Chains A and B, each alone.
Chain A
């Protein structure tokens, strides 16, 4: 059972984003997202899905309307934006990894940036890399990794500060179907652990197979909002991990229980 505050975890109320007098990214969007939900935002390029997510990360400020997260207004002053972002994990489409830093250094960088000591970073990075199944490549440089591996590093970096909300903008945009599915499974595991996950994507196949709440946007408006209970049987099957056809063997080996155990260790 969700509490009322859980139901109103993220609220957009008549949100409008106008970049200039000719370009309006969002035209009065209203939307509620519950705590612990896994939501996809789909739509063609320029439909407004990224702008909507960027309101939460405060990369974009809304022109009118009200947006809240956990009951707090998202329209915080500029100096409070870093503190806001520390409470969420952000996974960009281009992975945004530092090319001259090794995998573990990239993840540690996020911890160091928020003031963690080297010792803390060293301890936690090793664990989080195991969680996202990239520990064996800890000393590799980003250019030595596949797209899927790079994205896993980016997700590891987003997780390192224990966010309760994970935002991924086109996380599979640069990946082949197999790696896309691998990343989605990783995000699903996070969601099962309680993290609210919001994903902007135009990878319709992956979205349908995940069978989660899907918000379709077009021209700055929400044109449909489909909840899992309304998703057809074929998509419901995708919720079954065993039915997922193209999970990479290495990743599939990590059971849901093993995942939970690892995360508990990291938390400890």
Chain B
């Protein structure tokens, strides 16, 4: 019975912890991607550098703008030639100064683009370039992660709670003879309740530790898989210490709550409260 309770707690906490960890990583990723989300603002072709810098300051002052950096047209021209592997010698530089704007929130991209486009220093009629699709996908991804993660997390939380409750309840039923004897000799509710709850907490703690190491193993396996496929993606280091502490604490709390509920009714019945 104890084995069933421990494995149930471990499986539940592994799923919950795994989901929490994935949610944390995706959230982290989307935050980082948001920070990297940028739009290019092209100035008018013959705009003086001083005015381009003044425009950068104006844009920097807008709400939702994180950074604004100027890419001088000379540098852009050089990079363009290098990228295409051609020499532009003898040709006039056709490029304008470009302002790279990063945003604090990709959702504000449309509004900002409209405001910036109205500035007279900006190339008309289409002086702004950014990926609307990328922004929408990012938005959608974040919504899906938040809602799906939340719903799945809540479902798993409830399911694992019921599983632990049942495991402890089975333990209580298996030991009902012992409980009855304790009640016959006048043991107090607390005297009978305590060992069961301690057992529940211990089972939860063991389950939490097992879940933490299972998560660690899953991360190592995932890392191995990713390294085998590409060396372009670096998988973050697994925070084993905090995860062990977190899942152990969660297991202990789970064990306490579920075993308290599981013991309550059989003890009340056995105490002779029924008519």
Contact = CB atoms under 8 A, between A and B. Distances in A.
Interface of A: 17-19, 54, 57-61, 63, 78-79, 81-87, 90, 92, 96-98, 109-110, 113-115, 157, 161
Interface in B173-195: 177-178, 180-189, 191
Contact of A81 (B180, B181, B272): B272
A92 B184 CA distance: 9
Contacts of A60: 272, 275
Interface in B145-187: 177-178, 180-187
B157 to A, nearest CB: 32
A59 to B, nearest CB: 4
B186 A85 contact: yes
Contacts, number: 67
B275 to A, nearest CB: 5
Contact of B273 (A78, A96, A110): A78
B181 A86 contact: no
A113 B275 contact: no
A113 B272 contact: no
Ordered nearest first, which 9 A-B pairs have the shortest CB separation? A86-B186, A113-B187, A85-B186, A110-B185, A59-B272, A82-B188, A58-B272, A82-B186, A78-B273
Nearest to B187: A113
Interface of B: 177-178, 180-189, 191, 268, 271-275
Contacts of B187: 82, 113-114
Contacts of A79: 189
B271 A81 contact: yes
A109 B272 CA distance: 21
A157 B272 contact: no
Contacts of A54: 272
Nearest to B270: A59
B186 A61 contact: no
Nearest to B268: A78
Contacts of A59: 272
Given A96-B177, A98-B178, A113-B191, A161 B275 contact: no
Given A82-B188, A113-B185, A115-B191, 15 more contacts: A17-B275, A58-B271, A60-B272, A78-B268, A78-B273, A79-B189, A81-B272, A82-B189, A83-B188, A87-B186, A92-B184, A96-B181, A113-B186, A113-B191, A157-B185
